[in-house]
Amino acid sequence: MTRFRSFLCLTLLGGLTVVLPIALLAMIFLWLFDLVAGLISPLTGLLREQATISEFLALLVVLLLILGSCFAVGLLIRTRLGNWMHGHMEIWLTRLAPGYRTIRAIVTQLLGGSGETTLLSGQTALAKIYGADSPVTVTAIVTSRHGDGAYTVFVPTAPIPTSGMTYHLPADCVQILAHVSVEEAMRTIIACGSGSAEMLARNARETMGKARDYEE
């Protein structure tokens, strides 16, 4: 009887680990869809009045028009005139709305950023936030290098890696993990550390392999 109960519990938990992420993803998608539909409802209503089409088709057309407009703006700012206009508009918005620059930085990070402005362009590292003599290390992302050799690192919190703390550390408190991508490190943080042993062991093996190749 005990084995049967254990079998039922394990099977049920196994099914939940498959179904729950899909269900949560579907719920988030529906929430976003309803949110966007509510925001653009005036445009979809106007389109339905002008053309005899269904609500879903009107929503689809408006979304395509918005995406097309974003694409057109993206093309415009790639030109010299568009870049000049965008720069002056940002100066104007920063003066009128002090929180604009912060919101823009958050959106840039969420969309992957550009150049060196994105967190994904950093390097994965082990950081000794309590000093070089402390055995405690945390998974961190190097976001800036200082002229004196020091680092600025971002230490994400588990299981939500978009929140965390920023530390400014000397070079001897930061160990760069050259063979670990930011995406791989983020996956271990989302999993509350699960997979870290394999990640660090692989980095050590590849580092030793590179060192042997260099010596030969």
> What value does the mean pLDDT of the chain take?
81
For 179-204, the DSSP string reads: T--HHHHHHHHHTTTTTHHHHHHHHH
Residue 119 has pLDDT above 70, yes or no: no
Q: Is residue 203 part of a domain?
A: yes
**pTM for this one?**
0.54
Q: Which residue type does 140 have? A: A
Q: Which residue type does 185 have? A: A
Q: Is residue 210 part of a domain?
A: yes
Tokens of 108: 């840039």
Provide, rounded to the nearest whole percent, the portion of the chain with pLDDT above 90.
22
Residue 130 has pLDDT above 90, yes or no: yes
Q: Is residue 16 part of a domain?
A: no
pLDDT of residue 214: 59
pLDDT of residue 209: 74
User: For 47-100, how does the pLDDT look when each residue is reduced to its tens digit (9 = 90+)?
Assistant: 777 777 777 787 788 888 888 888 888 888 888 888 888 888 878 887 887 777
CA distance 21 to 11: 16
Residue ranges making up the domain that contains 183: 119-215
Residue 188 contacts residue 194 (beta carbons within 8 Å): yes
Residue 165 forms beta bridges with which residues? 155
- Alpha helix stretches (DSSP H) within the chain: 2-39, 41-50, 55-77, 80-96, 100-110, 182-190, 196-215
pLDDT of residue 176: 93
pLDDT of residue 110: 55
Kindly state the average pLDDT of the residues 18-31.
79
Q: Is residue 132 part of a domain?
A: yes
Residue 139 has pLDDT above 90, yes or no: yes
Q: Is residue 141 part of a domain?
A: yes
Q: Is residue 35 part of a domain?
A: no
Q: Is residue 150 part of a domain?
A: yes
| Rg, Å, the chain Cα set | 24
Residue 114 has pLDDT above 60, yes or no: no
Q: Which CA distances in Å does 51 have to 37, 45, 48, 117, 186? A: 18, 10, 5, 44, 47
CA distance 28 to 33: 8
Kindly state the average pLDDT of the residues 131-160.
90
Comparison of pLDDT for 109 and 151, the residue scoring more: 151
Residue 213 has pLDDT above 70, yes or no: no
Q: How many domains does the chain have?
A: 1
Residues with Cβ within 8 Å of 118's Cβ and at least 6 positions away in sequence, in order, are 108, 109, 112
User: For 182-206, how does the pLDDT look when each residue is reduced to its tens digit (9 = 90+)?
Assistant: 888 888 888 888 889 999 999 888 8
Count of CA atoms in the C-beta half-sphere (13 A) of 115 = 1
Q: Is residue 174 part of a domain?
A: yes
Give me the helix-helix angle, 182-190 and 196-215, nearest 10°.
160
Provide, rounded to the nearest whole percent, the portion of the chain with pLDDT above 70.
86
In the DSSP assignment, the letter for residue 145 is: E
